[in-house]
Amino acid sequence: MKDITPVVRAAKRIETLLEAKFGAQGRGLHEKLSSVERQVPAELHKTIRYVATVRNKVVHEDDYELDDAQGFLHQAERVARALEDLQVEKLPTRLPGTPPAASSSGGTLIKLALAMSIGGFIAYQAYQTLKPRREPADEARTQTASIAPATRQTQKSGKDGDDAQTQTAARKTKRSGKDGGKEPTTDVLSGEVMERFAKGEHVALDSPLLKVEKITLAMAKDAFGDLKPRIQLKVRNTSTKTLSDATYEARLFIDSQPQAVIDERASTLTRNGLFLWFGDQGLKAGESTTVTPVLRNERDWVVPDILNARRWQLVIRNNGVTDGLKNSVDVKAAPFTVLPTRTPIYTAPTPSASPSKTGDTVDFVAALRDGVSAGAGNQALSLRNVKVKMGHDSFDRPQPIITLDMTNISERTLSDAVLQAQLYLDGQDKPVLKTSEKLGGGFSSAPGALFAHFGDRGLAPAQTRKVELRPDGMSSTWTSPDVLNAKSLLVLLRVAGTTDGLDKPYGGTAQQLP
C-alpha cells in the first residue's frame, strides 16, 4: 500500500486506548497488549495482534503489500470502538499508582443504569459511523433463499435423524393458549422455517416488527481482489412505526462441518452479528428494502474453511430494532434452539480431532555441530530448507531474513503458524537470542515469536509453500551490532502453534529447542 499512515494511526489509536484505560506498557502494540492481556476481553486479543503484526509489516518490510486495506481498517475500528465502550467496565479497575475508589451504595445503581443503556449506546455509535454498502457487481458464488408467505402444511413423520429433531423442535415452538392474542405467534412460522432449514436453505427467525423476505449469501471479490462474504437481505417493516436500524444474531454452516462454524450472539462487550441501517429517513411501516448488512466481526467470516466451502447455510435471528426516534424497541423472535444444531448441507467426513501424523524429530545438536539451520514441525506442519541471511527492511536498514519451506502434513487446511526461534552467531554453541513462544513476547522480556500467515485460503493438506520470515523490527536484539556484524548466522526454529482453517488451535507443538 502506498500510504501507510492510516495503518500506523489505527494501531496508535489502539495503543493509546490500552495505555489510557489499562495502564499498558511496552515498546509496541504487541507488548502493550501483553502487559494488560488479563484485563482486555479475550474476544479482542487476536484482532489486536493482527493489527500489530500488519502495522509492523507495512512499516518495516518494503515488499509487503496489504491486500485488504479497507478490511484492516474496519477491524481496527471495531477494536477501538469496543475498547471505548469498555469505559463503563473500568469502574472496578484502577491504573498503577491510583488509589482504589471508595465503595458506595450508589455504585451498584450506577452500574445497573450503565448496563441498561449500553445496548442503546452501541446502536447510537453504529448509526453515527456505519452505512449500508453498495458494492459493485462481480463474479461470485451465490446462494439465495426466497422466503415465501407461511403455509399451513402438515409435516410427514416416520424419518429418523434430523427430521425427527426438526419435528420435535417445531412442536416445542408452538404456543398454547387462547386465540386472539395481539402479538403474532411463531407456530406457523416455525413450521415453515423448519422445512427450509431441512432443505439446506438460508432462514430467518423474524420478530413481529421485521420480516426477512429474501437472503442472499455470496463469496465475492472486493475492490482489492480478496474474497469476502457478501450478504443481502430483503426486509419488510411489519410494524406500525418507522424503523431506523436493526441487528441480527447469526449462525453460519458450511458443507465441511456438521455444526455451525460461526455462532454470534448478542454481547455487551463486543459488537457482533449483522447490523442493518435503513438510511436517513428509515424504513416506513409496510415498506420493504434490500440492505447489505455490516458484518461487525468480519475477521471471523474470512477464514479459509469458510472461503473454500462449496455450500453455506445462514441462519439469522432478529435481536434488536430502533424506531424512528432511535429508541430501542423490544423484539420477540424465536430462539436458535428451535432449529437443529446439525446442518443438512454437511457432506464431508469430520476430520480427526488431532492429526494422525507426528512431527519429525530434528537433531538440533547435530545441526549446530554441522553449522546448518534447522526447524522442527508439529503434527500439522513440517519445516524444511531453513536458511537465514542478512537482508534489508523498508528503510534499507540491514536485518536478518529467514526463509524456509512449510508443508501441511495434516488433514485440515491451516490458517497460520507461530514459531519460536534461536539465533546463533559465528559458530557459537550458545544462542544470542531466543524468542518467546508467544507473539509480542507474552509476559517475558524475550522478543516475540515469529508469525507465518498462509493467506485468505490457507495452506491446504499436502501443500508446500516457501515462506519468508522477517523478525519484528521493534525488537532491537535482532538488529544489534553483533548480529549485523556477524560473519555467519544460524537459526533453529520450532513450531509453537498452528491454527486450522477455522482459525482454531490445531496440531500441538514441536519438540523443544536446545
Q: What is the DSSP string of 370-417?
A: HT--EEE--SSEEEEEEEEEEEE-TTS-EEEEEEEEEEE-SSS-EEEE
Say what the pLDDT of residue 4 is: 80
Distance separating alpha carbons of residues 495 and 360, to the nearest angstrom: 11
Q: Any idea what DSSP says for residue 312?
A: E
Evaluate whether 506 touches 499 at the Cβ level (below 8 Å).
yes
pTM of the full structure: 0.65
Q: What are phi and psi of 145, to 5 degrees?
A: -130, 115
Number of residues assigned to the chain? 514
* Span 109-130, average pLDDT: 46
Lowest model confidence (mean pLDDT) among 62-71, 166-175, 398-407: 166-175
Tell me the β-bridge partners of 493.
375, 421
For the chain, count helices (H), then strands (E): 10, 19
SS3 452: strand
* Span 327-356, average pLDDT: 82
SS3 469: strand
pLDDT at 504 over 50: yes
Lowest model confidence (mean pLDDT) among 279-288, 318-327, 347-356: 347-356
Q: What are phi and psi of 25, to 5 degrees?
A: -135, 155
Say what the pLDDT of residue 83 is: 84
Say what the pLDDT of residue 139 is: 40
Evaluate whether 291 touches 218 at the Cβ level (below 8 Å).
no
Distance separating alpha carbons of residues 386 and 66, to the nearest angstrom: 26
Distance separating alpha carbons of residues 252 and 235, to the nearest angstrom: 19
* Span 411-424, average pLDDT: 95
**Closest to 371 measured CA to CA, from 426, 308, 442, 307:** 426
Strands 243-254, 262-264: pairing is antiparallel
C-alpha cell at 350: 469430520
Give the number of other Cβ atoms within 10 Å of residue 301's Cβ: 18
Say what the pLDDT of residue 471 is: 82
Q: What are phi and psi of 14, to 5 degrees?
A: -70, -40
Cα 223 to the center of its chain, rounded Å: 20
